Amino acid sequence: MRKIIGLAMGLALAATATHAQVSVDPNRPKAIASILDWRGEKQAKGFRDIEHIFKTTTVRRGDKVHPLPVAARQIAPTFAYDGKTWAVDDYMKAYRVSGLLVLKDGQIVLEKYALGRKPADRWTSFSVAKSVTSTLVGAAIQDGKIKSLNDPVTTYIPELKGSAYEGVTVREMLMMSSGVKWNEDYTDPNSDVARAGGSVTEPGVNPMVSYLRRLPRAHAPGTTWNYNTGETDLVGVLVSKATGEGLAQYASEKIWKPYGMERDAVWMTDPGGQERGGTGISMTLRDYARVGLFIAGGGVADGKQIVPAGWVAEATKREIDNGTPAPAGYGYFWWIRANGSYEAVGIFGQSITTFPKEHLIIVQNAAWPAATGKELSAARNAMFEGVRAAVR
């Protein structure tokens, strides 16, 4: 079951990423067959230069930068894995890690770069963006733009009225439990994940909304977890409709400017011009760490509560069974782990992992040789344990 869940987590985004964004070169719309196919230097360069490959919008930073002080004591973790002892540099080389940053009590205790990446270089997030999107739902609730998580989705996306989304709540969407039937068979070119959102089929209607509103219901809302990347894009549409702003603009106003990100981010858009709620934010390694700090601090920026008090605690706890033994599970677009952490995770090795009781945040960006895999995740988890031991 865990392997199946891992594949769902990783490959769901990969399949939609192939179709639901737009090349910057209209004369070469198929120039990049699939992000999944990138390897070697093409992969590393593409991940750090996504705005020159696909259309994006900019998440503007503000005038100040949230400091990330460097601790007096830096760590040099070692850990046992696969029958040998690993140092961090060995791990980064073997698993094509472009950036690794560790914060303990808000201070940098480890920061390393590779694959030609520099500290000012952005790196694409893949599904880490989902956790940012769920945070923007919290911000919209705090702003009164979304009245309640118990509101029907159709209140904010009226185009879904009369579809299988009738009666589905915002909360159920964040838990990936809408109950709407969705096929994520990556070997089937006619699956939903392969077909959804690739083009504008109804003028004036977001392409993902247009596709999803034709699907039937498979389960009662709120009863069954089913990883559905298309619905995370749908939540992005919901936030934009509720706030009257694009996701990039709203993220700028609610996180990037008030919290003090060091560099503008960019966010990939779909064929309708909507930023994709499920993927494609590119930011610096340190700004990934700041996202982690913002969440760990309860969603407070510049002395203001950006999300409702208690939102973070609710979003990052086990809201629904996703097939992994309790206490692991799924929150509001956050993965809840049995080791006490919560994570934002993307394919090819992207993650923001927070151990709240230890005041520890580990950020990794990578260009794994495969989108996901049991061995890749096992090595990353072994590295995490080495870091945890080194900061004690």
**pLDDT one-digit tens code per residue, 177-211:** 999 999 876 567 787 877 888 888 899 999 999 99
Question: What would the pLDDT profile of 1-31 be if each residue is shown by its tens digit?
Answer: 444 344 444 444 343 444 576 666 665 544 3
Query: Is the Cα torsion angle 116, 117, 121, 123 positive or negative in sign?
Result: positive
Query: Is the Cα torsion angle 92, 98, 103, 107 positive or negative in sign?
Result: positive
Residues 227-253: b if buried by 16+ CB within 10 A, e if exposed: bbbbbbbbbbbbbbbbbebbbbbbbbb
pTM recorded for the entire structure: 0.93
Residues ≥6 apart with Cβ < 8 Å to 176: 225, 226, 227, 228, 231, 232, 320, 322, 330, 333
Instruction: For each of the domains in the chain, give its residue range(s) and CATH number, in order of start.
Output: 2-148+245-391 (3.40.710.10)
Tell the residue number behind the tokens 């999944």, with chain if given. Answer: 36
Mean pLDDT of 341-358: 97
Long-range pairs of 166-171 with CB within 8 A, sequence gap ≥ 24: 167/221, 168/221, 169/221, 169/222, 170/137, 170/146, 170/235, 170/238, 171/222, 171/332
CB 101 within 8 A of CB 288: yes
